[in-house]
């Protein structure tokens, strides 16, 4: 049997709002809303996040700022300070690195850690989680919540169970009892649409899903059904992937106003493919997998991936796959907020070597040299397009992910 993995998910509490409260004592203990200017209720834009005091009024991330104002005009409304948050995010990252190099950052305030076999584990999972939370607080004067579990999905659900300052540990033999009572929407890959399909089948909880006949589920939901059934049984083998391991080059666009105009969405997708192709070529990269991402007005996000037979670096090739993905995403009649495309599955080794990975002529670049060139290319992309330009392949996975490859 494979060794039990110990996966941790670390997520900072009310991240932007907690930083504002830390830096301005007048805001402590008060409802604080970070986001757009409310303009006395006439403001446009949304809430980025809010303090736990503000959550008591029903305010939450992505809510229109005007609505937040109606719920709690007396809250402190603060504009975001992105550079400060990014700096704190780096500090948190550095703390996590004291414990393990196996870190997969997921967003500005959360990361997965694979702490299997790390020395810190010798005193137990809780002791290690507490040590990490304590160090984060020492260094940043901010609190975090942690989930510890045998896989990423359960760790992520666990970190959210007892916020703020929560440490929730799910032992492997508790995974089933932990998951079973949860609503299916807690599973990765269950967005609103899938949730409705499941509900029509009488499946409300993760336990209902785990008990459902697997073949029946596959008939109705295809490969996605099989995937969900496995998740419901607590099976999630995805590794913690430190950046630099699974890379992709991607671009996305948020529409000024949400749109249900298919032509506009596809036209934008074409422009994005041109950008991505340009960047791939600039970096001498070619990839096989094209992922298309769509976010709807309600913020549910869908990704569709397809692996092509050939290595791609041209816009027309990439677009051909990307638009097929889009059509599979079944967006008709829904308002789209954001569309994105990324290419991953870069060639390494094998017969398809070119450019960066070219086998060097005798006496030329060796493995180290190749790695250095790749790093340079990545730096170049980052320098030119920002850190977001290069993201791990997995970071494009949103809710309702329906990845498949049939290339």
Chain length of the chain: 407
Closer residue to ligand TTP (CB): 13 or 347:
13
Q: By CB under 5 A, which span of 12-20, 276-284, 286-294, 354-362 interacts with Mg ion?
A: 12-20
User: Minimum distance between the CB of residue 61 and ligand TTP, rounded to whole angstroms?
Assistant: 4
- Report if residue 109 touches ligand TTP, rule: CB under 6 A: yes
Q: Which region, judged by CB under 6 A, interacts with ligand TTP, from 5-13, 211-219, 267-275, 320-328?
A: 5-13
What are the CA-CA distances from residue 208 to residues 150, 198, 232, 338 (Å)? 21, 9, 9, 33
* From Mg ion, ligand TTP, none, interface partner of 178 (C-beta below 5 to 8 A by class): none
Closer of 79 and 235 to ligand TTP (Cβ): 79
Nearer to ligand TTP, 48 or 133 (CB): 48
The helix (H) or strand (E) run that includes residue 336 is: strand 336-346
Which of 21, 49, 151, 397 is the binder for ligand TTP (CB under 6 A)? 49
* Token pair listed for 4: 């039990």
- Total of chain residues touching ligand TTP, rule CB under 6 A: 15
- Give me the 76-115 binding string for Mg ion, x by CB under 5 A, dash otherwise: ---------------------------------x------
* Least distance (Å) between residue 383 CB and Mg ion: 28
Nearest CB to ligand TTP, comparing residues 107 and 316: 107
Strand, helix or coil at 169?
Answer: strand
CA atoms of 132 and 123, how far apart (whole Å): 13
- The correct pick among 14, 95, 155, 272 for binding ligand TTP (CB under 6 A) is 14
List CB contacts of 9: < 8 A, sequence separation 6 or more.
110, 111, 112, 113, 146, 147, 149, 152, 155, 156, 158, 159
Show the DSSP H helices in 73-213 as ranges. 82-97, 125-140, 152-159, 175-179, 192-200, 206-211
Contact between 10 and ligand TTP per CB under 6 A: no
Identify the CA nearest to 5 among candidates 113, 156, 132, 126: 113
| Candidate ranges 9-17, 91-99, 228-236, 261-269; the one touching ligand TTP (CB under 6 A) | 9-17
The catalytic position among 110, 241, 256, 348 is 110
Residues numbered 270-289 forming contacts with Mg ion, rule: CB under 5 A = none
What per-residue string of b and e applies to 265-276 under the rule 16 or more CB within 10 Å gives b?
A: bbebbbebbbbb
Among 7, 8, 10, 12, binds Mg ion (CB under 5 A): 12
Q: Are strands 144-149 and 167-169 parallel, antiparallel or unpaired?
A: parallel
Distances in whole angstroms, Cα of residue 222 to Cα of each of 32, 33, 176, 331:
44, 42, 24, 18
Stretch that binds ligand TTP, among 103-111, 193-201, 239-247, 347-355 (CB under 6 A): 103-111
Per-residue burial over 378-397, b = 16 or more CB atoms within 10 Å of its CB, e = otherwise: beebeeeeeeebbbbbbbbb
Residue 321 CA to residue 279 CA, distance in Å, equals 18
SS3 346: strand
Interacting residues with ligand TTP between 15 and 44 (CB under 6 A): 15-16
| Closest to ligand TTP by CB, 15 or 77 | 15
Distances (CA, A) of 129 to 13, 126, 142, 179: 15, 5, 15, 21
Per CB under 5 A, the segment of 3-11, 39-47, 249-257, 269-277 that binds Mg ion is 3-11
Told to check if 11 binds Mg ion by CB under 5 A, we report yes
Is 20 in the active site?
A: no
Interacting residues with ligand TTP between 161 and 200 (CB under 6 A): 163-164
Residue 77 touches ligand TTP, criterion: CB under 6 A: no
Q: Does 20 bind Mg ion (CB under 5 A)?
A: no
Spatial distance between the Cα atoms of 150 and 256, rounded to a whole number of angstroms? 41
Asked if the peptide bond before residue 164 counts as cis, ω within 30 degrees of 0, the response is: yes
- Binders in 148-167 for Mg ion, by CB under 5 A: none
Partner interacting with residue 62 (select from Mg ion, ligand TTP, none; CB below 5-8 Å by kind): ligand TTP
Distances, alpha carbon 92 to alpha carbons 10, 111, 121, 141, in Å: 10, 10, 20, 11
Q: Give the number of other Cβ atoms within 10 Å of residue 367's Cβ.
A: 8
Binding site for ligand TTP (CB under 6 A): 11-16, 48-49, 61-62, 108-110, 163-164
Binding site for Mg ion (CB under 5 A): 11-12, 15, 109
Active site residues: 110
């Amino acid at each position: 049997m494979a060794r039990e993995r110990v996966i941790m998910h670390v997520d900072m509490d009310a991240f932007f709002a907690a930083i504002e409260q830390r830096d301005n004592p007048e805001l402590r203990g008060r409802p604080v809303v970070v986001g757009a200017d409310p303009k006395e209720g006439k403001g446009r834009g949304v809430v980025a996040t809010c303090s736990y005091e503000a959550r008591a009024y029903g305010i939450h991330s992505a809510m229109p700022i005007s609505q937040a104002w109606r719920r709690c005009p007396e809250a402190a409304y603060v504009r975001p300070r992105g550079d400060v948050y990014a700096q704190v995010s780096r500090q948190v990252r550095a703390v996590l690195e004291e414990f393990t190099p196996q870190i997969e950052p997921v967003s500005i305030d959360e990361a997965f850690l694979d702490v299997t076999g790390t020395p810190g584990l010798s005193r137990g999972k809780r002791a290690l989680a507490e040590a990490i939370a304590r160090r984060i607080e020492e260094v940043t004067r901010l609190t975090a919540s942690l989930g510890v579990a045998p896989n990423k999905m359960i760790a992520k659900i666990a970190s959210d169970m007892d916020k703020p300052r929560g440490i929730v540990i799910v032992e492997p033999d508790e995974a089933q009892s932990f998951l079973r009572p949860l609503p299916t929407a807690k599973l990765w890959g269950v967005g609103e649409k899938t949730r409705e399909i499941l509900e029509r089948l009488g499946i409300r909880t993760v336990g209902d899903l785990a008990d459902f006949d697997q073949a029946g589920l596959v008939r109705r939901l295809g490969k996605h059904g099989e995937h969900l059934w496995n998740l419901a049984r607590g099976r999630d083998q995805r590794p913690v992937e430190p950046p630099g391991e699974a890379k992709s080059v991607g671009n996305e666009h948020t529409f000024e106003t949400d749109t249900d105009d298919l032509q506009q969405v596809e036209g934008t997708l074409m422009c994005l493919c041109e950008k991505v192709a340009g960047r791939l070529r600039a970096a001498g990269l070619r990839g096989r997998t094209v992922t298309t991402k769509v976010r709807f007005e309600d913020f549910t996000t869908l990704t569709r991936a397809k692996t092509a037979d050939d290595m791609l670096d041209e816009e027309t090739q990439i677009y051909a796959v990307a638009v097929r993905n889009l059509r599979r995403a079944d967006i008709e009649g829904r308002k789209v907020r954001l569309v994105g495309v990324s290419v991953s599955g870069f060639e390494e080794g094998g017969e398809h070597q070119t450019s960066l990975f070219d086998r060097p002529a005798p006496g030329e670049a060796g493995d180290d040299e190749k790695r250095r060139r790749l790093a340079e290319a990545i730096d170049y992309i980052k320098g030119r397009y920002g850190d977001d330009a290069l993201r791990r392949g997995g970071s494009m996975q949103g809710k309702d992910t329906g990845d498949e490859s049939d290339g």
